[in-house]
Amino acid sequence: MTVAPRWRLWLPEFLLLGMIWGSSFLFMRMTVSEFGTFSTAWMRVTVASLTLLPVLLWQGHGSALRANWRPIFAMGVVNSGIPFICYAYALLSISTGLSSILNATTPLFGALIAWVWLKDRPNRWRSLGLLMGFTGAVLLAYGMPGGVSFKAGGSGWAVLACLLATTCYGLSTNYSQRYLAGVPPMAIATGSQWGACLALALPGLWFWPSVWPSSHAWLGLLAVGVLCTGLAYVLYFRLIVKTGAARTMTVTYLIPLFANLIGVWALDEVITGAMLLSALVILLGTAMATGLFPRQPSTAT
């Protein structure tokens, strides 16, 4: 009997996750203009928590969550709570396409954190990749139409918010691989959303909009909570188990492709030459920083 190549065990879920997260920027844009930054983030993780809990109990992983709830809840604040606030804030002033390109710096921060924290020292090529990736992010920020503004609510703060979010993603991915290895992905996915839900409950309620959001905003919220958070994080932690943290984080390569296509189609956003050039620099630097280019000798197929 022929054994399927290893890539077939993870590639379908990898592509699906890229498509789902690529659509999340559109749904966030639909939601945040009416719910506001904090309430959007809180409701997103609340919907995801309620979606995942019955599945967790049905699969019998409740005991795994109870045994590891402290590190899982803490990781949820870093992996979901803070980033979702950051992206909700950013999408009030920059495009979904730009946000998604900045999201592609996640593996760069993951590699940098692994170097500093886990002593996974990069070689010359990976170090050059880190430098290129961050250079691309700077070029992207300063190549935006209208320039960068650090006034209240300006585009500069939005860019920094996206980079803070990707730093949190890189930190939490390395944390998961080091401290939550062997914990069922469903327990991590569900528990992390509950941790973020509890942490964001007070600001989410405090900043609840005075005008009841429209059905359009609620539809975006349900989509981003159930599909782009609940289902997506199950796939995400499954991929970490199947193929490792470094390769899983490279799903951010796919997100700008889908997000920009959706943004152009649904929101009439414009992709500029500067954005494309900066995105190429970021993606090439990320590929080098994570060891995907130049191709490293491997026995994996």
Q: CA nearest 89: which of 74, 102, 107, 75?
A: 102
C-alpha 165/C-alpha 83 separation (Å) is 4
Task: Say what the alpha-carbon torsion angle 54, 11, 41, 279 is, to the nearest 10 degrees.
Answer: 180
C-alpha 142/C-alpha 136 separation (Å) is 10
Q: Which two tokens stand for residue 228?
A: 């782009």
Question: pTM for this one?
Answer: 0.83
The H-assigned helical ranges of 118-184 are 124-142, 155-179
Q: Supply the DSSP string of 159-174, one letter for each residue.
A: HHHHHHHHHHHHHHHH
Q: Tens of pLDDT along the chain (301 residues)?
A: 443 456 677 788 888 998 999 899 999 999 999 999 999 999 999 999 999 999 899 989 999 999 999 999 999 999 999 999 999 999 998 888 888 888 878 877 887 888 888 777 767 777 787 788 778 777 776 666 555 556 555 678 888 999 999 999 989 988 888 888 888 888 998 999 999 999 999 999 999 999 999 999 999 999 999 999 988 988 888 888 787 776 777 787 778 878 888 888 888 877 777 778 877 887 787 777 766 666 555 444 3
What are the domain boundaries of the chain? 16-289
Q: CA nearest 144: which of 99, 109, 107?
A: 99
Q: CA nearest 250: which of 104, 59, 150?
A: 104
C-alpha 282/C-alpha 288 separation (Å) is 10
